[in-house]
Chain A
Amino acid sequence: EPEVTQTPSHQVTQMGQEVILRCVPISNHLYFYWYRQILGQKVEFLVSFYNNEISEKSEIFDDQFSVERPDGSNFTLKIRSTKLEDSAMYFCASSLTGQDRYGYTFGSGTRLTVV
């Protein structure tokens, strides 16, 4: 079964450093998403991406964050100048259409720890 692949599985970084989280969505999917989940809290939407541009972003997704699809397969989330409160699980997801009634497929996540 096709899957969304995320790397690394765990990233430890010092406060103030930049991190790039990587995702390989399912190959024929057109919509891509980043979500995060702080330990013990809800899964929160960060950003959706379609046709090489951001289609929607949440209040969390401020200037510290950026996304990019540098080639035909990768989808990245960059966090500049990380803060302690950025520590969370970051999930990438993809879907064939934006209105996919079958929901979308999540990757296994990257646990980001900011120290």
Chain B
Amino acid sequence: QKEVEQNSGPLSVPEGAIASLNCTYSDRGSQSFFWYRQYSGKSPELIMSIYSNGDKEDGRFTAQLNKASQYVSLLIRDSQPSDSATYLCAVRGLVDSSYKLIFGSGTRLLVRP
């Protein structure tokens, strides 16, 4: 059973701080990794994708991937109250030619003004 694990939170940070969100996955054959943001009652919105070890930066967001440790993280710099949402980690593997995404349960982020 392929699993994606996230701390459910809430992770509470003050406005302007760095928020660090973590995710581990069980399938060593996983190839592509995604971070989605989901506001309450809304659909997931893709904010970052990463598939190579190391860091990938996009504006205030940095995704980090360590395949040896089966670990992916998302850093949000200069956190804003509008960043308050649930952040979903999603993983896609190619071992069985599956194109589906496997989601973690999400980490709720609360940015305090």
With contacts A42-B105, A101-B32, A101-B51 taken as known, whether A33 is within 8 angstroms of B43 at the C-beta atoms is no
A102: chain B residues at CB < 8 Å are 46, 49
Q: Which B residues lie within 8 Å of A109 (CB)?
A: 42-43
B94: interface (CB < 8 Å):
yes
Size bracket, chain A contacts: 20 to 34
Q: Please state if A56 and B100 are interface contacts (CB–CB under 8 Å).
A: yes
Cβ B105 vs Cβ A91 within 8 A: no
CB distance from A90 to the nearest CB of B (A): 10
Could you pull out 13 A-B pairs where Cβ atoms are within 8 angstroms?
A31-B99, A48-B99, A55-B99, A56-B99, A56-B100, A98-B99, A99-B32, A99-B92, A101-B51, A102-B49, A103-B46, A104-B46, A106-B44
Interface residues of A (CB under 8 A from B): 31, 33, 41-45, 48, 55-56, 58, 89, 91, 95, 98-99, 101-109
What 5 A-B pairs have minimum CB-CB distances, sorted nearest first?
A: A98-B99, A43-B103, A106-B43, A45-B100, A103-B34
